[in-house]
A = this chain, B = another copy of it.
Amino acid sequence: MTNKTFHTTETAWCPGCGNYDIVNTLAGVLDDMRFKPSELLLVGGIGQAAKLNQYVNANGFSGLHGRALPAAVAAKMVNESLTVIVNTGDGDSYGEGGNHFLHNIRRNVDITHFAHDNQIYGLTKGQTSPTSDSCSVDRTGACNLSKPFQPLLIALAAGATFAARTFSGNREHMAKVMKAAIRHKGYALVDILQPCVSFNKVNTFGYYKEHTYELEGDYDATDLETALLRSMEYGPKIPIGIFYQVEKPTYHQQRPAIYDGTPMIDKQLSQDTLQTFLNKFA
């Protein structure tokens, strides 16, 4: 570990797992961005990826499998001074948690969602995840007879204001995208291609390294049509980068009467106000 503030601890991940690159890069990014550990909240569901918050020196909430997002957005709702980052798996984000994925994008709460997409259920030992490759691609192991889930396309269709893809093996790119996502005002999804050395023998480090390429320098990330079309490009060539980013009012900004900058947890309803209100029932 190069990093001091957000140093990471011993993990339960397999040697060679892509999660190491993610946690180390994230720790570096948080350090670069000069966060204080206590103002950061890292949230996870359950799975290998979801364990990340256990290994970083910050506030941590490990909730239920598939349910990281609701807990994360609610923590942000009541304390907008926290920087809230979700790290969790593809199964967690798009499988069990699919409904929260759809609807929290719509809410546009100002949180960041790093989906560690190893295209497999890692912790439960290698079942097909929503993003597993299609079975038509010749392969052994877990694969999708169903149409593979396209995280960016779905996120855009649901109205995401920030949607990006990166690859854990490209640490520089990942750091750049992570920073942009954390800085983004509103819900930001980063689907992180992450090799699972134990169970995904197809989408390996080498595979991603070979197939990924960065979106063009002049790519216009504010154009939804382009973003939709480019997000469907997922085959021999897999673009990485920020596909789409626009500013839309966040959850808090849309409710100025309730969220005035002072975190909700710092405000209280006075007994007098309540007493006055009670009198209306006389």
Contact = CB atoms under 8 A, between A and B. Distances in A.
A147 B157 contact: no
Interface residues on A, range: 20 to 34
Interface in A122-154: 130, 144-150, 153-154
A156 interface: yes
- Tell me the number of copies of this protein: 2
Contacts of A229: 225
Contacts of A99: 96, 98-99, 102
A158 interface: yes
A146 B103 contact: yes
A52 B185 CA distance: 43
B102 A102 contact: yes
B102 A145 contact: no
B157 A105 contact: no
A162 to B, nearest CB: 13
A38 interface: no
Nearest to A66: B99
Contact of A154 (B102, B144, B147): B102
Nearest to A104: B146
A96 B102 CA distance: 11
Contact of A108 (B146, B148, B251): B146
Nearest to A151: B157
Contact of A98 (B102, B159, B254): B102
Nearest to A105: B147
B159 A106 contact: no
Contacts of A145: 251, 254-255
Contacts of A197: none
Given A225-B229, A228-B228, A102 B157 contact: no
Contacts of A157: 150, 153-154, 156-157
Interface string A83-124: 000000000000110110011011110000000000000000
A15 to B, nearest CB: 33
19 contacts: A96-B99, A98-B99, A98-B102, A99-B99, A102-B102, A103-B130, A103-B146, A103-B149, A107-B146, A108-B147, A147-B158, A149-B158, A150-B157, A150-B158, A154-B154, A154-B157, A156-B157, A157-B157, A228-B228
Interface of A: 95-96, 98-99, 102-103, 105-108, 130, 144-150, 153-154, 156-159, 224-225, 228-229, 232, 248, 251, 254-255
